[in-house]
Structure 1
Amino acid sequence: MDLVTATRRDAMETEQRGYSAAREPATPPEEPLVMPVQSFRSWADSDRRAPAAPRDWKTPWLKRLFVFGGGLVLTGFGAWEMYNVVSVSRTTSLQYALLVLFTINFSWIALAFTSALLGFFGVMFGAGRADRAETLKHRTVVVMPIYNESSARIFAAVAAIRESVEATGLGDHFDYFIVSDTTNPDVWVAEERAFLALRERLGPNSRVYYRHRPKNHHRKAGNIADFVTRWGGLYEHMVVLDADSLMTGTCIVRLTAAMENDPDAGIIQSLPLIINRNTFFARLQQFAARVYGPVIATGLAMWSGRDGNYWGHNAIIRTKAFADHCGLPDLKGKPPFGGHVLSHDFVEAALIRRAGWSVYMLPDLTGSYEESPPSLIDISVRDRRWCQGNLQHSRIMGGKGFVMPTRQHFATGIMGYLASPLWLMQLVVGILIVLQVNYARPEYFTQEFTLFPVWPRFDPERALRLFAITMGILLAPKLFGLLLTLFNNKLRQAGGGAIRLIVSALIEVLFSAFFAPIMMLIQSGSVFQILLGRDTGWNPQRRDDGSIPLKDIIRRHRTHTVLGVVTGLSAFMIATSLFAWMSPTIVGLVLAIPLSWASGQLAIGLWLKRHKLLMTPEEGAPPAIATRANELQAEFEKAGYDDADGIKALHADAELRHAHELMLPYGQSRRRGEIEPDRAVAQAKLVDAETIDDAAIWLKPKERMVVLHDRALIGLLASLPPVEAKG
């Protein structure tokens, strides 16, 4: 039975019981929590709460010593080896620059290696497992912030999550809140129609609520803060999702039980796995996240302990603690480094941890899922926003009262983007050194008397050995994840078998190497733009499987291709050895356009899927909640809410108009006598319109939003005759 039929049937049944979703309030009565703005400049240790269960609060000093001490030893070894490579003769300034850049970049991969090695043993011995739950005591709300998303996808996900939670027998402890920041008028009306249809389907005890915010102030962080300050007092905890999140009922219940059983927990993060992806690039990411991700996440969770991080979604938060300590201040100055905090999740984790609440991850908790961008260009758009948010943390990481692991999380995020320009600089310095060796005149007369001319020289055997060690350390986390998947009989079979898993890993490594130099240039460009003061926007993320027009791909990557060709020709003319050393980078850049085109191709991804390559266990044995969400999404899509004109839909349905007006905030949105240009224009167009078609054609998106927010203009819209009544 599809959604439309089910809704009509349920409407008839509930009408007999006197229930109508359109007449019910869209939100429960408000129970506000005060959310004071925090300061990064002032903090007293006396303001930090004492642990309620100090015996459970154990700092993993040995694990941290292993990760950071081991990373330091490896970095020292790498730096010493590089020094011996470049110090065969008198070392030049360029060689010293290469040594410094190499040491910085090597330290980054050394730390990742030791953390992954810890995670490898942690997964083997079952670290970080959550207890199962039989009962719950408090009320929890599942909150999904949305911004110009497909209503079919969103409400299907919420319905599937709710069904899964109900199946645990503990459903009465949970409410569901969709908090919308949507700015597209048609999407807004589609959300309301889908919400009403879902409520009608579920009946009077749905416990599903919806709120649209007139202004998306402070974006997602502001959206959550608005919810907390209005309804936060109703709930002991909130499970925060993203628009592409799915979580099973068992996962949500176990997260909630973990928080109820830990009086010191402020945030508990799950490990979301990527599912439902079919384009080539997205399948590469999905495979990498599933096979390598648990090792990396487990290592991070083990050394972080209760000083962990928050990724902004698929986590449970103690609502009152969040309200008390996570009010984000605006940073002084203009974006990109000033203004509101862009990457809010790291900062919220830092603030709640500063106040004495623990933040940690349960990486072994199954049933937490998300999706990923479908192409290289899509992920670069998202990455630009993340880059700005992480670099903005450079102004926050020195804040008063933060614990040292918190500062490390900030530093890791910043370094994740600075690594690209540092890698680029290392490549440039390497080219300059080879150029100097081949074309610069040797310096025969230096300040110190020597019998031989001074020019850069290297130890080729040490250089080759150091390159092999570097690549081994870089690829080791992937090898750890692959080995653990191969050792697990269930995961191995669900992933297509040992041979296909190994072939898939080789494909992922190969194409990751090709995509890496493109991402290096993209991220380097983002860093340079941010340092020059260029702000990024906040566009809604594309979540569908679809390709990008070839002309857009050429426009985005033509500079990368030209740079690759010029670099390749220059390297070959300087020295064939330099060309061979740089060949992976050169190939990736020269093929940037076809690689980017292939990244978004659904056909390539589906071909790999048919041959069981880049297969994840969740594809071999799909989670029931993902299957159910896809079924419900197909039903919602049949209703056609996302394809309809919002103004026309509101005009045609009196009950929808009534429900829409009930959802609008009460009180005057403008001062009496104050003329707003957009409202005046919208009103004039409605007055001149002879039919609803005239209004739909004349009203621009901004004017449509004005109409949808104004009860008087909605009344004027409703008075327009339909098309057939014209004349």
Structure 2
Amino acid sequence: MDVVTAARPDTATGIEARRYAVSAEPATPPENRLHMPVQSFRSWKASDRRKPAVPKLWTTPWLKRLFVFGGGMVLTAYGAWEMYNVVSVSRTTSLQYVLLVLFTVNFSWIALAFTSALLGFFGLLVGSGRTSRVETLQHRTVVVMPIYNESTARTFAALAAIKESVEATGLGAHFDYFIVSDTTNADVWIAEERAFLALREKLGPEARVYYRHRPKNHHRKAGNIADFVTRWGGYYEHMVVLDADSLMTGTCIVRLAAAMEADPDSGIIQSLPLIINRNTFFARLQQFAARVYGPVIATGLAMWSGRDGNYWGHNAIIRTKAFADHCGLPDLKGKPPFGGHVLSHDFVEAALMRRAGWSVYMLPDLTGSYEESPPSLIDISVRDRRWCQGNLQHSRIIGAKGFVWSTRQHFATGIMGYLASPFWLMQLVVGILIVLQVNYARPEYFTQEFTLFPVWPRFDPERALNLFALTMAILLAPKGFGLVLTLINGKLRRAGGGAIRLIFSALLEILFSAFFAPIMMLIQSGSVFQILLGRDTGWNPQRRDDGSIPLKDIIRRHRTHTVLGVVAGISAFMIATSLFAWMSPTIVGLVLAIPLSWASGQLGLGLWLKRHKLLVTPEEGDPPAIALRANALQAEFAEAGFDEADGLVALHADAALRHAHDMMLPEGQPRRRGEIEPDRAVAQAKLVDAETIEDAAIWLKPKERMVVLHDRALVGLLATLPKERASA
């Protein structure tokens, strides 16, 4: 059954807070279900893997993998050998061996990143972008936007801008749009419904835009997408999955669909989203880094991964039936953080899709894919805590039956991305202990082996300096590659403010990244230790708007970091000035943690840099048309005031809205006689006692508000309340 009618150009303008004409078209089409069986990580047969439809496309980039991993191993072996020579001037102590092991682990991590970026640098240097125009499509594709307690002005404006852009390609009739909400805030839920109805009215009766609110956010985003696939996935050959902060041009979406149609073995095709629309200081640092350095890293990853790539959970196109057949996620045994539902589901879905014989790959040179970034250091650390738990949870999945080697490497990279911080912390601690041993510990004159000299931990200072220079060169090289490529591209160079400003911006980004790095190291180390102790992170909505955080909250979050920095600085200086010099970058970052975190969220500082064309990305110098359109539509939605309104009051005031809300509610199970639900009973009692809608709005707690909105009878009772008290 095809639920989509012919395309209709968008002619209406403006979003207003009005009484809605109740459309005959329901908020969702009739269900067209797909079965989504739960997969197993423990049992799997090779015979279950499908045979390639076009075997000649399945070329494994062995030479590129040899270059990346072989080169990384050679670099690591050289670095480890040099470090061994640094610590083996005389007889090596146990602490020095520990330092050698920790250094080797950390060095291997940056060596692999270097060789992968080097491959990406050469790939971009000789490559060319995809500019072919798509003339026709054969299949239906749905654009799915999952939302969770988000600003409706932002999300609905983005979806409207995406739809307009797709329609402008002339292929809009092949696409539908689905907003799938997991919102748990009553006011936001009603704001979403009002924004949806207003958008429907703006676009007309053939808009092909749908909205579904899920009563319980079971399994969070993965469950949200799975619910959509199992209920409506049968209509669509492909689905483009977005995040709430995603923005994609119509050309990008159409090319993704065309690429999937051209490749019958493709299961997931990932685009490279660039960060835009960010103005706080910290977000601008991230935006600049992602734009200038990100393509190099992503291109290298895409080149050696080939058809064994990864999925980042958004701004990608997925073959819907294949996803339903193979990506049903099982719950892991035990309790969170390592048990329960799979938190970082995207890596696992890519692994399951690849295990089933579908290819997963990235098109890093496909333009027109965008996202946004958290506005401050604290905001990104909140998101990072959730990612940390999800990635460490993959340690229970990495050994699953049937996964290909590259899939396991993606898991290992994600895990090491967070274990690197505690390894770095341990390396610092061991280094301090060795210096303490040199300066204060008594030499060991009598060991188990005969020796004429005491055992002193000694170092080769010249080799140590050379090794430090090599480490820094490998660490910073990917940034240099990205900067060089931006400088030699005239269009990007001019849009980024010119060569001088680009170079100065890169130096600014490197400097402050070095200051922020030890703070993030401690934050991530703390996250790892908390997870190992069994503490679950939960799932809080992400703050996406620019804005600062109260100073008292910043002090509370970073006071421990500051104290550690002061103690480490004083201790290092008292032990040895050389130790203080070696640790000075870490010490400075920790001592200044509070002012750095405060500055990170400052909109004024970011805008000052923007006015002086520093940390400017090409997308700011030459803004994408879709970003300008989304911002204009966001202003219209914001003016309507949906996000500022009390949901219960808005529902009470508008009979048409109540009717639409009633039509959007799923059919619930009838309550059995004698069964009393405490929250419903309390909510009903408060509504009975309320003399006005204002009383109800004040008395009902957040959970009770959600109970009311889910119950048609209670919504009806709410509607009977007078607006004001009757005069005496």
TM-score surpassing 0.5? yes
The reply to whether residue 490 of structure 1 matches residue 480 of structure 2 is no
Residue 341 of structure 1 aligns with which residue?
342
Tell me, in whole angstroms, the C-alpha distance in 2 between the residues paired with 1:293 and 1:670.
54
Tell me, in whole angstroms, the C-alpha distance in 2 between the residues paired with 1:338 and 1:63.
36
Q: CA deviation at 1:691?
A: 1.3
Q: Are the counterparts in 1 of residues 12 and 203 from structure 2 also a CA contact under 8 Å?
A: no
Residue 293 of structure 2 aligns with which residue?
292
Matches within 5 A, 1:337-486: 337-486=338-487
Q: Are the counterparts in 2 of residues 145 and 179 from structure 1 also a CA contact under 8 Å?
A: yes
Q: CA deviation at 1:521?
A: 0.2
The reply to whether residue 633 of structure 1 matches residue 631 of structure 2 is no
Tell me, in whole angstroms, the C-alpha distance in 2 between the residues paired with 1:480 and 1:388.
31
Tell me, in whole angstroms, the C-alpha distance in 2 between the residues paired with 1:62 and 1:7.
55
Q: Give the root-mean-square deviation of aligned CA atoms.
A: 1.5
Q: Give the AA of the match of 1:627.
A: L
Matches within 5 A, 1:146-545: 146-545=147-546
Seen in structure 2, the aligned counterparts of structure 1 residues 190 and 79 have a Cα distance that, compared at 3 Å, is same
The reply to whether residue 106 of structure 1 matches residue 85 of structure 2 is no
Q: Give the AA of the match of 1:299.
A: G
Q: Are the counterparts in 1 of residues 487 and 493 from structure 2 also a CA contact under 8 Å?
A: yes
Seen in structure 2, the aligned counterparts of structure 1 residues 304 and 127 have a Cα distance that, compared at 3 Å, is farther
Seen in structure 2, the aligned counterparts of structure 1 residues 238 and 726 have a Cα distance that, compared at 3 Å, is farther
Residue 577 of structure 1 aligns with which residue?
578
Seen in structure 2, the aligned counterparts of structure 1 residues 726 and 214 have a Cα distance that, compared at 3 Å, is farther
Q: CA deviation at 1:444?
A: 1.8
Tell me, in whole angstroms, the C-alpha distance in 2 between the residues paired with 1:130 and 1:621.
18
Q: Give the AA of the match of 1:567.
A: A
State the identity as a percent.
87
Matches within 5 A, 1:40-59: 40-59=41-60
Residue 704 of structure 2 aligns with which residue?
703
Q: Give the AA of the match of 1:36.
A: P
Q: CA deviation at 1:688?
A: 1.2
Q: Are the counterparts in 1 of residues 16 and 198 from structure 2 also a CA contact under 8 Å?
A: no
Tell me, in whole angstroms, the C-alpha distance in 2 between the residues paired with 1:635 and 1:678.
37
Q: Give the AA of the match of 1:136.
A: L
Q: CA deviation at 1:132?
A: 3.5
Question: 3-state DSSP class of the match of 1:269?
Answer: strand
Q: Give the AA of the match of 1:691.
A: T
Q: CA deviation at 1:725?
A: 4.8
Tell me, in whole angstroms, the C-alpha distance in 2 between the residues paired with 1:169 and 1:676.
52
Q: CA deviation at 1:689?
A: 1.2
Seen in structure 2, the aligned counterparts of structure 1 residues 716 and 601 have a Cα distance that, compared at 3 Å, is same
Question: 3-state DSSP class of the match of 1:642?
Answer: coil
Question: 3-state DSSP class of the match of 1:361?
Answer: strand
The reply to whether residue 646 of structure 1 matches residue 647 of structure 2 is yes
Q: CA deviation at 1:440?
A: 1.0
Q: CA deviation at 1:23?
A: 3.8
Task: Give structure 2 stretches of 5+ with no counterpart.
Answer: 1-10
Q: CA deviation at 1:4?
A: 11
- Number of residue pairs aligned between Structure 1 and Structure 2: 718
Tell me, in whole angstroms, the C-alpha distance in 1 between the residues paired with 2:689 and 2:470.
75
Tell me, in whole angstroms, the C-alpha distance in 1 between the residues paired with 2:286 and 2:15.
38
Tell me, in whole angstroms, the C-alpha distance in 2 between the residues paired with 1:21 and 1:562.
60
Tell me, in whole angstroms, the C-alpha distance in 1 between the residues paired with 2:326 and 2:487.
44
Q: Give the AA of the match of 2:661.
A: H
Seen in structure 2, the aligned counterparts of structure 1 residues 21 and 51 have a Cα distance that, compared at 3 Å, is farther
Q: CA deviation at 1:5?
A: 7.7
Seen in structure 2, the aligned counterparts of structure 1 residues 270 and 8 have a Cα distance that, compared at 3 Å, is closer
Tell me, in whole angstroms, the C-alpha distance in 1 between the residues paired with 2:111 and 2:583.
22
Q: CA deviation at 1:692?
A: 1.0
Q: CA deviation at 1:450?
A: 2.2
Q: CA deviation at 1:445?
A: 2.2
Per-residue CA deviations over 1:658-695 (Å, capped at 9, x if unaligned) read: 00000001142543432100101111111111111111
Q: CA deviation at 1:21?
A: 4.9
Q: CA deviation at 1:281?
A: 0.2
Residue 116 of structure 1 aligns with which residue?
117
Residue 126 of structure 2 aligns with which residue?
125
Residue 589 of structure 1 aligns with which residue?
590
Tell me, in whole angstroms, the C-alpha distance in 2 between the residues paired with 1:568 and 1:705.
52
Tell me, in whole angstroms, the C-alpha distance in 2 between the residues paired with 1:5 and 1:583.
57
Q: Are the counterparts in 2 of residues 23 and 659 from structure 1 also a CA contact under 8 Å?
A: no
Q: Are the counterparts in 2 of residues 691 and 726 from structure 1 also a CA contact under 8 Å?
A: no
Q: Are the counterparts in 2 of residues 119 and 302 from structure 1 also a CA contact under 8 Å?
A: yes
Residue 72 of structure 1 aligns with which residue?
73
Tell me, in whole angstroms, the C-alpha distance in 1 between the residues paired with 2:98 and 2:17.
73
Per-residue CA deviations over 1:348-369 (Å, capped at 9, x if unaligned) read: 0000000000000000000000
Residue 720 of structure 2 aligns with which residue?
719
Residue 692 of structure 1 aligns with which residue?
693
Q: CA deviation at 1:698?
A: 1.1
Q: Are the counterparts in 2 of residues 129 and 362 from structure 1 also a CA contact under 8 Å?
A: no
Per-residue CA deviations over 1:489-537 (Å, capped at 9, x if unaligned) read: 0000000000000000000000000000000000000000000000001
Tell me, in whole angstroms, the C-alpha distance in 2 between the residues paired with 1:723 and 1:394.
59
Q: Give the AA of the match of 2:389.
A: Q
Q: Give the AA of the match of 2:179.
A: I
Q: CA deviation at 1:589?
A: 0.3
Q: CA deviation at 1:446?
A: 2.2
Q: Are the counterparts in 2 of residues 44 and 401 from structure 1 also a CA contact under 8 Å?
A: yes
Seen in structure 2, the aligned counterparts of structure 1 residues 164 and 5 have a Cα distance that, compared at 3 Å, is closer
Question: 3-state DSSP class of the match of 2:643?
Answer: helix
Q: Give the AA of the match of 2:693.
A: I
Residue 664 of structure 1 aligns with which residue?
665
Seen in structure 2, the aligned counterparts of structure 1 residues 102 and 383 have a Cα distance that, compared at 3 Å, is same
Tell me, in whole angstroms, the C-alpha distance in 1 between the residues paired with 2:554 and 2:699.
34
Q: Are the counterparts in 1 of residues 200 and 207 from structure 2 also a CA contact under 8 Å?
A: yes
Seen in structure 2, the aligned counterparts of structure 1 residues 543 and 511 have a Cα distance that, compared at 3 Å, is same
Tell me, in whole angstroms, the C-alpha distance in 1 between the residues paired with 2:208 and 2:574.
70
Q: Are the counterparts in 1 of residues 22 and 656 from structure 2 also a CA contact under 8 Å?
A: no
Tell me, in whole angstroms, the C-alpha distance in 2 between the residues paired with 1:8 and 1:301.
45
Question: 3-state DSSP class of the match of 1:581?
Answer: helix
Per-residue CA deviations over 1:116-150 (Å, capped at 9, x if unaligned) read: 00000111122684753111011000000000000
Q: Which moved more, 1:124-133 or 1:688-697?
A: 124-133
Tell me, in whole angstroms, the C-alpha distance in 1 between the residues paired with 2:66 and 2:673.
65
Q: Are the counterparts in 1 of residues 144 and 177 from structure 2 also a CA contact under 8 Å?
A: yes
Q: CA deviation at 1:372?
A: 0.5
Question: 3-state DSSP class of the match of 1:723?
Answer: coil
Seen in structure 2, the aligned counterparts of structure 1 residues 691 and 31 have a Cα distance that, compared at 3 Å, is same
Tell me, in whole angstroms, the C-alpha distance in 2 between the residues paired with 1:386 and 1:726.
56
Residue 604 of structure 1 aligns with which residue?
605
Tell me, in whole angstroms, the C-alpha distance in 1 between the residues paired with 2:135 and 2:672.
54
